[in-house]
């Protein structure tokens, strides 16, 4: 099970969360977000993280040229596309960013959104399903209808996001069987400031359903 904690803005919190067992840390690279962090600030955090932990930049409708520059400056190892990016855009990014993991996020307003993911799986490494909000791309605290995801089995690994907390994560995993989970507001004190006690509680909950230690 991959565990991604998103919205990291502080080096010491990123370090602590990585030690607890996170396999990926997410950095919001969208200027209008309250969790926004600059490429230079990410670069300052990266040397303090275990090499095995993925550093994921979250973007909304950025151009390929912008993404290449962000990766170059920040030291990101993965890019999450959280906007209206087309399959062709993902194909172009696959060529422009060799060796960088591509994650395509979908905000699920209706179950028919799930069928749209098929067009992307040839060009991305993973999918992420998030709750729909009319004005916010993520970090809303709203959950999906997990029962509609019970048969979702794409050709690439997928992450469940949207309103996950230490209190509901076991139920969510039991119903949907994702390859990974993504949390942001569910383990925060405020946008961009993580509650390390909540993160610790999250991993304690995960240990109860995973007999082997988290990586």
Q: Is 90 a catalytic residue?
A: no
Q: Which residue has the tokens 């209706």?
A: 110
Task: For helices 87-96 and 64-74, give the axis angle rounded to 10 degrees.
Answer: 40
DSSP codes, 124-174? -SEEEEEE--SS-SS---PPP-GGGGTT---SS-EEE-SS--TTTHHHHHH
Dihedral sign for Cα 156, 21, 50, 61, please. positive
CA distances to 2, 203, 207, 210 from 215, rounded to whole Å, are 8, 11, 11, 11
Q: Is 130 a catalytic residue?
A: yes
Tell me the chain's radius of gyration from C-alpha atoms: 16
Among residues 6, 29, 90, 182, which one is catalytic? Answer: 6
Q: Give the whole-angstrom CA distance, residue 53 versus residue 5.
A: 11
Among residues 90, 92, 125, 130, which one is catalytic? Answer: 130
Q: Give the whole-angstrom CA distance, residue 198 versus residue 28.
A: 20
Question: Which residues carry out catalysis?
Answer: 6, 130
């Amino acid at each position: 099970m991959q565990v991604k904690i998103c919205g990291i803005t502080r080096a010491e919190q990123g370090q602590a969360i990585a030690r607890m067992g996170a396999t990926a840390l997410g950095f919001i690279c969208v200027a209008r977000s309250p969790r926004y962090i600059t490429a230079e600030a990410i670069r300052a955090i990266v040397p303090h993280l275990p090499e095995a932990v993925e550093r994921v930049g979250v973007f909304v409708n950025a151009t390929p040229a912008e993404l290449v520059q962000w990766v170059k400056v920040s030291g990101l190892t993965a890019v999450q596309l959280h906007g209206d990016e087309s399959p062709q855009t993902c194909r172009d990014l696959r060529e422009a960013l060799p060796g960088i993991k591509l994650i395509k996020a979908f905000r699920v307003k209706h179950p028919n959104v799930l069928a749209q993911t098929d067009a992307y799986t040839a060009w991305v490494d993973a999918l992420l399903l998030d709750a729909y909000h009319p004005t916010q791309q993520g970090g809303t605290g709203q959950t999906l209808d997990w029962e509609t995801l019970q048969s979702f089995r794409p050709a690439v690994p997928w992450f469940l996001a949207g309103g996950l907390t230490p209190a509901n994560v076991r139920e969510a995993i039991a119903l949907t069987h994702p390859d990974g989970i993504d949390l942001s507001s569910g383990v925060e004190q405020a946008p961009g400031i993580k509650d390390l006690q909540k993160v610790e509680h999250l991993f304690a909950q995960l240990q109860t359903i995973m007999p082997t230690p988290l990586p």
